[in-house]
Structure 1
């Protein structure tokens, strides 16, 4: 049992920190506390990422509509997530520092496929799914040089900003957030904030840290719009309400 606890503890901390906590009982070691907090946050983000976009997927399925969801924004978001995942994986960074990207990528693919499918582009949705699988293989199989991965990772900031802000512009034009899931947007914002800290602690990669700062800003804009348009109906809901409203009879 003791050996099992030790193995579990060493999964979360270094041997030095294990000795400090369990042998020397030094619980005020700040570097070890920050490292442990970062590892715990990283694993919590990964656990949360398993379901973070599921509310969005379910909302699209239940309404059989991707109304208000900017497909360009979804594609660019997927591109940024995939670039970050491949760059981190090929660099050999700890899974706790980027593992959430794996689950976010698959869920974002599902959103893109559903938006295409329910907009009447069924063939395109299948082609997109196959194309993404090939693209993922090329990035993560060693076929793509590391220099190329560094270059595409540096493109993540403009990709993120264009993707998120195009969604924000769509919300602004519609005067509502359509089928956007509040739960998904709030969790994405919280995750990007936490990732700034974990990236500093676990990778020290300046490019990743700056990228998450911009990601936090972009996600914050979407969250602010959700709060602003909270009680305003979407276009589809507004149309239904008008259809149900009885027409006034003409008085001769």
Structure 2
């Protein structure tokens, strides 16, 4: 049987094949066997993956807006944000180089853009505009290299391996900043909880679509660390920044 044996409208076939690739399309929409377990896992993974990618376009927008409205990046660790940006970028470059399905890493692109904006705003409102411009320019240059055919695959493997520690370390820095200030400062509750839920979902999609131990371990640690920060948001809810403790 083939795709033309189904009653699914022709204009929907290509879209449905994104969610049910290979023989799974025939299994679902030609044989109408919707209980095929392997295909169900692929379908759920694809839905989660593309859902995460769609959500990633707005996941850090609340954080950006909060910094912009407050005209302050107080309480946000630039070092932590930078480490997070390195981790996101490593996942993006590693996934692209290994030709993993785009649904397994695609959100890294939009998260990288939004994270670099956050870093720039932190510098901007600290009256370090020149440093902000240099920061963003250097990042764009680095990504141009990492996504080019000239980059050694071994370098990307090292970066992804280091990403396991960078991801957790960057979050631990932010968690420590929150503890030290007895406040979560300008952290956005929407952004933090979306990142937490997204990283949890990525554990399943990574197992299903890549099987790469390093990628899976990265998201397991990210989920734990994002969960810690999410808990701090509840614990320090509406607590003002403790300037005395900070000094």
| Residue 218 of structure 2 corresponds to residue 211 of structure 1 | yes
Matched with 1:100 is: 107
Please point out which of 59, 72, 78 is paired with 2:79: 72
Structure 1 residue 140 displacement after superposition: 0.5
* Aligned counterparts, 1:31-180, within 5 A: 31-180=38-187
TM-score by length of 1: 0.91
Matched with 2:27 is: 20
| Residue 204 of structure 2 corresponds to residue 197 of structure 1 | yes
TM-score by length of 2: 0.93
Matched with 1:188 is: 195
Task: Provide the alpha-carbon RMSD of the alignment.
Answer: 1.1
Matched with 1:239 is: none
Structure 1 residue 41 displacement after superposition: 0.4
- Name the larger-Rg structure: 1
Matched with 1:231 is: 238
CA contact (8 A) 1:77 1:163 kept: yes
Gaps of 5+ in 2: 1-7
Structure 1 residue 235 displacement after superposition: 4.5
Distance in 2 (alpha carbons) for counterparts of 1:193 and 1:123 = 37
Q: Number of aligned pairs?
A: 236
Distance in 2 (alpha carbons) for counterparts of 1:196 and 1:60 = 30
Distance in 2 (alpha carbons) for counterparts of 1:56 and 1:231 = 16
Structure 1 residue 92 displacement after superposition: 0.6
Gaps of 5+ in 1: 237-252
